[in-house]
Structure formats: C-alpha cells, structure tokens
Structure 1
C-alpha cells in the first residue's frame, strides 16, 4: 500500500470535514472516503488482510449508526423543547385572572394602599428584621418583630420611611433577616395576588402579579375556582 497516497487522502478528508463542520471530528462521508482510498491504493502483491478490512467495515457501520442515533436524539431534543415551550405558553395564558402565589422579594406600593410583605420561616425565630429598599438599594424602612413561629407571616407596610415620611409609589425590594439567638433562620419572601398580564421574553415567560413581574417558574400555587 502507498502510505503517502493514503495520507494525502486522509488529509483531504480531514480538510473537507473541517470545512463542513468546523471541527476535527470525522464524519460518515470522510470515513468512507478513507476506506475507499485504502482499497484503491493497496499493494496488489500484499492486499489488505480480510480481517482488517472486515474490521474497518464494522467501524464504518458503527460510525454510520452513531451518526444516525445522534441525529435522532437531536431531533427528539428539539421536539421536546418545542413541546415544553408550547405547554408553558399555554399554561401562562390560562393563569390570567387567577389568584396565584409566587416567590419574589419585590412589593408594589400603590397609591395610599401600602403593601403586604409576605414571608415564611423554616424555624422559630426570636427576632425578624424586615428591611425595605428602593430600586437603587437605599434603605427606606426597617422594622423589627420580636418572636415568630415557623411558617407563613404577613407584615403590612404603610408606605412610610423610618421617619414617617411617605415614599413614592412603585416597586421596592424586601429583605428578611431572621435569627433565633445566635443562629440564623432561613426565610423566603413571596407575593400573592391576581395574575393580570403575561409577557413572552427571550429569557422566558413572565407573569405580572398585581404589578410585580415574576418568571413563570417561580409560581408556587394557583387558586382553583369554585365554579
């Protein structure tokens, strides 16, 4: 066999593969080209061993099957992604008008209405500190509650600063710092209200709950109508 000619064919196949796929992986066509090149350039006096040829055919068959499996898996993945997107969009549309609960550290302060700060604790706390910050991170209100059991809690913010001054309407961030002696207690903030708007974005589906927008994946419960 003329090794130089086979090497040239191998390099050509590799270059073709790079131009097609942009990487160094050998595809089905390139593997077949190499196999044909070996047969065309083998030494007639010392032809390719039958076992070796059979082995290479088996390798080609394996490559062909793997390429087929990979293509099938890719198509399946694309189909599943499309199904997930369609189901998410359909579910999002069905949420409008329903009362939902979602994880969020934001509250929407309405005109003269104040805002509900909802949170739950995974353990009993001897002290719970609630901090309200504006969109720039500036603290506008701090409230300390003595003693709180594990579970859900609600604190009504009147929309005033620590000095009793009314703050502008809009969205504010909530921070809960709960402790039990020297131990910290895990706390989560959430909002409850009516899902009144659905927005489809490049980052996923967003649901607006009484003016606070949350990712659809952060919704925990949906109230079922009695009708």
Structure 2
C-alpha cells in the first residue's frame, strides 16, 4: 500500500479534527461573551442557548461527515488500485471491435439488448470492406461470444475489425461489441487509473466490462 497515501489520510484527519475543534472553540467563546454582555433585564432564555448549541453541533457534525466522505473516497481509490494490479497478465474485455488472428482464428464478445432471431457477424478488412460473413443464428439477450476462422483470408497476426447486426423479425436489436486483450501494466494518469493493454494500448480502468 502507498505509504504517502496513508500519511495523507492521517494528515487530513488531523487537520479536519483541528478545524472542527477550532470552530467549536470560537463558537463557545462567542456564546460566553454574549451571555456575559447580555441585558440583565432581557437575558437569553434556555431555548436560545439550546438552539445555538444545536447549531454548533450541526456545523461540527457536517465538517466531520465531509471529512469522512473524502477519506472513504480515498480508501476506495486505494482499494481499486490494489485490485487493478491483479489484472496484469490477464485478459480483459473493453468496448471495441478489434480482433487479432492467432493460430488461424480470432474471437471476441458482444452484448445484445434483447433477444434476436438472426445475428450476423461481418469481418471488415483494412479499408472497411466486408471480407467475410457468418450467420450466428438466433440468440438471447445478454453477453455472447464468437470465434471466427480466418481460412487464410488474412495473414497470421493480422488485426481486423468486426460488426454485429441483430434482428428480431424486422426490428433491429441494439448490440455492444467488445475487444479482448491482455493487461501489461497499470498506472495512474491525472488521477485516473489506467490499464496498458498489449495490443489496444491505454484504457481507463472503469471501461473494463469483464475479466476473461
């Protein structure tokens, strides 16, 4: 765990506690001064004192709550960073439509927003032209996977793109395509947790949809 982050959290807690204590101390001094200088013929009643005490308690509580929320956010960020480290060397899915031919085949996944009676996979060449089409049949809603046999249409190691067209009768079914790649490293960029993928390059940790 990052020692500097722990020190930062401790420092934040100390500062917040001091600020809350200072606020409460100033209020009490003002309240005592007000009581000492009150009109003897029209003194503050218990309701006024109780009301002002409640106000300082509310201010102190809000200050403490604000600090607690900030500390919780920091702790969640640290937990996220620790979890992301375990992804190095593992394959993840991120939004995209790139696939790479390895040992003559390529594959990825997609998600259908609803059931479809027909699902068509199209493989696109470098110029965006369709170089192969495969009918995937009827499929239910949710996450689906596919494997495409290149059949020597493109050289080994070539990266191509794919497109999914899904229909339920004549109605189009929306789909989201995903690319699969391995995580090579994890780093932080301007406060954002980033993953460096072997082929696809940098992606935000939040964009990872699944670990394969």
- TM-score under structure 1 length normalisation: 0.58
2:193 corresponding residue in structure 1:
205
Segments of structure 1 that go 5 or more residues without pairing to the other structure are 1-26, 159-163
Instruction: Give the Cα–Cα distance (whole angstroms) in 1 for the partners of residues 57 and 83 of structure 2.
Output: 38
**Which of 47, 53, 61 lines up with 1:61 in the alignment?**
53
* 2:14 alignment counterpart: none
Contact 2:99 2:162 in 1 (8 A): no
Determine the C-alpha separation between the residues in 1 that align with 2:191 and 2:54. Answer: 39
**Cα pair distance change 1:154/1:39, threshold 3 Å:** same
Q: CA, structure 1 residues 117+141, in 2 after alignment: closer, same or farther (shift >3 Å)?
A: farther
Residue matched to 1:218: 207
Q: Quick one: distance in 1 between partners of 2:169 and 2:35?
A: 78
Q: Say if 1:35 and 1:56, in contact at 8 Å, map to a contact too.
A: no
Measured in 1, the distance between the counterparts of 2:191 and 2:125 equals 25
For 2:165 and 2:29, locate their aligned partners in 1 and report how far apart those are by CA, in whole Å. Answer: 66
Q: Which runs of 5+ in 2 are unaligned?
A: 1-22
Q: CA–CA distance in 1 between the matches of 2:169 and 2:196?
A: 38
Q: Which residue of 2 aligns with 1:76?
A: 68
Counterpart mapping for 1:154-165 below 5 A: 154=146, 156=148
Q: Would the aligned equivalents of 1:194 and 1:209 in 2 still touch at CA under 8 Å?
A: yes
1:107 aligned onto 2:98: yes
Paired residues in the alignment total: 179
1:40 has 2:29 as partner: no
The residue number in structure 1 matching 2:111 is 120
How many Å apart are 1:90 and its aligned residue? 1.2
TM-aligned CA deviation for residue 66 of structure 1:
1.0
Instruction: Determine if contact 1:115/1:157 at 8 Å carries over to the other structure.
Output: yes
Q: Deviations over 1:115-168 (max 9, x none)?
A: 64432334233243648698xxxx71346544342352325496xxxxx999xx
SS for the counterpart of 1:101 is strand
Is 2:89 the counterpart of 1:97?
yes
Distance 1:174 1:74, change over 3 A: farther
| Aligned residue number for residue 178 of structure 1 | 166
